[in-house]
Structure 1
Amino acid sequence: MAKATITFEDINVTVTVPAGTRVIEISEKVGAGITYGCREGDCGTCIMQVTEGWNNLSEPSVLEDKILRDNYAGKHNRLACQAQVLGGKISVKPA
């Protein structure tokens, strides 16, 4: 199975993870500052900035794209609950 490294810049932690893992799952495990309100119905709270490895994440879905636009997110922002790691090297931080 393919592996990837993801760095959470806010806490300066890098971990190796299997491809297919969602960024929010990793963030929770390492204690990074990417917050989320999905379980409380507050979609869009897990917006993160991808500073490296944009192409090493899954493509945004139509729904994710809409939520990012509704929140005036920048070009390199993604929802951590939707972005899946594909491989390679990725760096993220809370938006």
Structure 2
Amino acid sequence: MPKAQVTFEDIGVTVTVPAGTRLIEVSEKVGAGLTYGCREGECGTCMMKIVSGGEHLASPSVLEDKILKENYASAGSRLACQAQVLDGHIVVRPG
């Protein structure tokens, strides 16, 4: 199974994960400073900035695109609950 590396810039941690893993799952496991209320119905709170390696993530879904637009997200922002790692090396930070 393909693997990828995810670096959390805010805490200086890099982990190797299987392809298909969502950024929120990785964040929870390493204790990154990601705030989220997705599971309480506050969609959009898990927004992350993709510092580099965005091409190694699956394309945003229609739902993710909609939420990002509604929240006036800056370029390079993704929802951690939606963004799936494909391969390569991705660097992220909260916000």
Within 5 A, what are the aligned runs for 1:1-95? 1-95=1-95
User: CA shift at 1:35, angstroms?
Assistant: 1.4
The one-letter code sitting in structure 2 at the alignment partner of 1:5 is Q
Secondary structure at the aligned position of 2:48 is classed as strand
Cα drift, residue 38 of structure 1: 1.0
SS at structure 2 position matched to 1:11: coil
Structure 1: gaps (5+ residues): none
Alpha-carbon separation, structure 1, partners of 2:34 and 2:70 = 19
Report % sequence identity.
69
Whole-angstrom distance in 1 between the partners of 2:8 and 2:27: 8
Q: TM-score, normalised by structure 2?
A: 0.98
Shift in Å, 1:73: 0.4
What's the secondary structure of 1:73's corresponding residue?
A: coil
Number of residue equivalences: 95
Extract unaligned runs of 5+ from structure 2.
Answer: none
Q: Deviations over 1:24-77 (max 9, x none)?
A: 000000000111101110000000000010000010011100100111101100
Letter of the structure 2 residue corresponding to residue 93 of structure 1: R
CA RMSD of aligned residues (A): 0.5
CA distance in 1, matches of 2:61, 2:18: 21
